[in-house]
Chains A and B, each alone.
Chain A
């Protein structure tokens, strides 16, 4: 327990992981999970802004119904590359490979992940995949949609589908390695006294996501390989002209890609659990319910894939089963939301920037989750499937949820990662701008979807224009909200206040070591004697304050 309310001037520690070694070699050949996390941070930030540029161009194009800005072909490439970039090269690695990589071993009181070399290898494989993806993008782009539905992708489009598929295949392997590392580390390298019941919820969430990465990603790999075989060698798997079945592709693709949304959101939920407890100064409400709901989501997430296919011609009975199971997976998410809310009850709440993002997450994820109920309802999905309703729902979960969680986590652990505090006022402003811009961008899309505007349309009927203008206006605000943190984070590296080991007064092993941590995280192996989020008995807390 450290006291942080009194003004104390901190100094940067003399030795830490950033100044332990200098030079490009010490970064490119590092086995330190923290440095690898930084490498990932640079990589995915790059892809986030590339994907963001694609998104901005999409929104600009949709200002007018006639779509005067780009040719239809160009527009199709833009939304495809926006999706591929954001999903495979930003969202999936975001929290696990950056924040998880950095914080998970420290939370466990470990010196590093179980397999440091595999961790570095995973980054190189990721960059290999990224290179293929970039080659595919600059050499003409890909226009299949990020879902690569066959037989369009395997036999009809003329773009670099195989190059892109190889890129995604590589990125998939990097996430398998990250997941493998997390699982083994969580099992084998917990500090003395750190029982499973004392694990921070961030660890539980990443553990659950890792299970999906390991079990699901190989199926994506197989799917992409089959797609490449059909496209490259005309081996009939999915194209009926070659004797294949196009719906088979959808089954295989969604068998991975539905659980993949839980790869994306679960680690974000872990971040939210950390932030809400810290800024409420309270132990989490219903620890085991939040922990096991993560596992439940990981398990149920594997048996709901065909809810993407209710109008694809699957049998009525299997559609019913998948609809039912989709409701089953909604319940653990609801349980989490209620528990986070209850954690604030009778807490000591302060609305610092990470907490603002966390509250934004809870609100927007609730809307995103509830609108998922619309899509899981069979008779209703028929109408809103493949419309802007789906776009809005997905972005409420992935941007309103996951990106908010990622930004919240980045603000929360930024002092730990860099040793510096970011400027609080600017950060609060950015959080507010993001929240407003986000809602203005995506809320109109729910209405557009119910009105019947199909997704992936380069031109649209004039009656949809007003809402599209709102959406584009919102996107420009949202862009400001995303650019601001990039500016003040960089600014803080030089001008930020020195944070000290525990600027938030948080519990958790990561706050007991210096900021930035030493290369081996701890000078002495920590021993855990308390439950997680032990914000003290009332007496102890009074003494501190």
Chain B
């Protein structure tokens, strides 16, 4: 990625140098050549529509090339590959905490292997921060209200800067860390040596029990809350007939602000867990839900009301959502 960004950068440096020199040389040339001399008045020229068109169309053409090139790179940057190694990051004034699915944790440092895409899911505990690794040309603001992801593939072992690039208060310039890139074998050894206090999902399961989530979120049909097995990554039909995908942000919102999106067929009875569960705890619970959907193919909903989304419907709904996206229409009713 760094190479591709640099290529666009160099192209722009060339464009900038060319036009800056063009203007500078013309100005200097005109200033000398047409220096005021008695007896040689200025030639009054009204302008030239042809020239105006030329110097409108050429910059427009060049800038469209830059636009498409930049947009192409950006698209690529915003789409993490599915085989990426997933790491979770929590930012707070003024430090970075990273957790690996197997439970390894580190502060202000991030170990990654070479050659494998790494996807970092980021959330802030307080203000907006920004995850910036200049060497990988990657930057993503870390928001306090939703997960954002950044991804990169490191190629050369070494230690690289990790900066917070969004001003975040007093020790903003101290919110720095390092990204340690290791060969895959070294990385595996490092992972082994990391003292894991149980995997993310295992810790999530503990929290799930501790907060009594299972009281309502049960697989049987008498449960007051939707069954969460197999939920992660699947479409869910809401009360207002909208269909949303149960991704990280949806689950986080449903825990902190349960009434924002009520699953069809259920009552808005869940209390908020805002201020009760830490950002790390939320990540663990999400990891737990994710592990549940990886393990079992349970039906999505434990209700049988006619509007609910059944397992067999899922492919159809996914297809429909894709079409809706292509038609630039929001799915279902919009508030």
A-to-B contact residues, CB < 8 Å: 5, 67, 72-73, 76, 143-145, 147, 149, 151-152, 156-157, 240-241, 243, 245-247, 280-283, 285-287, 289, 310-313, 316, 319-320, 323-324, 327, 330-331, 334-335, 337-339, 341-342, 344-351, 359, 362-363, 366-367, 370-371, 373-374, 376-383, 385-387, 450-452, 454-461, 535-538, 541-542, 545
The CA of A70 and the CA of B168, in the complex, are separated in Å by 18
Nearest CB of A to B300, in Å: 26
On chain A, the residues within 8 Å of B306 by CB distance are none
Q: A313-B146, A319-B74, A366-B20 are in contact. Are A286 and B30 (CB under 8 A)?
A: no
Contact of B56 among A280, A331, A379, A541 (CB under 8 A): A331
Nearest A residue (CB) for B47: A286
The CA of A454 and the CA of B168, in the complex, are separated in Å by 12
Q: Are A386 and B12 touching (Cβ within 8 A)?
A: no
On chain B, the residues within 8 Å of A451 by CB distance are 134
Q: Which of A76, A287, A310, A380 has the most CB of B within 10 A?
A: A380
Q: Are A452 and B35 touching (Cβ within 8 A)?
A: no
**Is B172's beta carbon under 8 Å from chain A?**
yes
Pairs across A and B, CB under 8 Å, 30 listed: A72-B171, A72-B172, A72-B173, A76-B170, A145-B167, A149-B166, A151-B128, A151-B144, A241-B274, A282-B43, A283-B45, A286-B47, A327-B64, A331-B60, A334-B55, A335-B52, A339-B52, A347-B30, A348-B41, A351-B35, A366-B23, A370-B12, A370-B19, A373-B66, A377-B12, A379-B72, A382-B139, A454-B163, A454-B164, A455-B167
Q: Are A349 and B74 touching (Cβ within 8 A)?
A: no
Contact of A377 among B8, B23, B40, B161 (CB under 8 A): B8
The CA of A157 and the CA of B193, in the complex, are separated in Å by 40
Q: Are B47 and A72 touching (Cβ within 8 A)?
A: no
- Apart from the given pairs A363-B27, A455-B165, 14 other A-B contacts in the complex at a CB distance below 8 Å: A246-B144, A282-B43, A289-B47, A312-B128, A345-B34, A346-B42, A350-B36, A370-B15, A373-B16, A378-B74, A379-B70, A456-B173, A535-B44, A536-B41
Q: A289-B47, A386-B166 are in contact. Are A280 and B42 (CB under 8 A)?
A: yes
**Is B314's beta carbon under 8 Å from chain A?**
no
Q: A151-B127, A313-B146, A379-B72 are in contact. Are A461 and B161 (CB under 8 A)?
A: yes
Q: Which of B41, B69, B143, B165 has the most CB of A within 10 A?
A: B41
**Is B126's beta carbon under 8 Å from chain A?**
yes
Contact of B128 among A149, A458, A541 (CB under 8 A): A149
The CA of A319 and the CA of B77, in the complex, are separated in Å by 13
**Is B114's beta carbon under 8 Å from chain A?**
no
Q: Which 6 A-B pairs have the closest CB atoms?
A: A379-B73, A452-B134, A377-B70, A378-B74, A240-B145, A541-B41
Q: A350-B36, A452-B161 are in contact. Are A342 and B51 (CB under 8 A)?
A: yes
Q: A311-B141, A313-B148 are in contact. Are A376 and B23 (CB under 8 A)?
A: no
On chain A, the residues within 8 Å of B148 by CB distance are 313
Nearest CB of B to A537, in Å: 7
**Is B76's beta carbon under 8 Å from chain A?**
yes
Nearest CB of B to A275, in Å: 13
On chain A, the residues within 8 Å of B19 by CB distance are 366, 370
Q: Are A156 and B66 touching (Cβ within 8 A)?
A: no
Q: Which of A310, A311, A312 has the most CB of B within 10 A?
A: A311
Nearest B residue (CB) for A330: B63
Q: Which of B26, B74, B171 has the most CB of A within 10 A?
A: B74
Q: Are B59 and A349 touching (Cβ within 8 A)?
A: no
Nearest B residue (CB) for A313: B148
On chain B, the residues within 8 Å of A76 by CB distance are 167, 169-170, 172
On chain A, the residues within 8 Å of B165 by CB distance are 385-387, 454-455
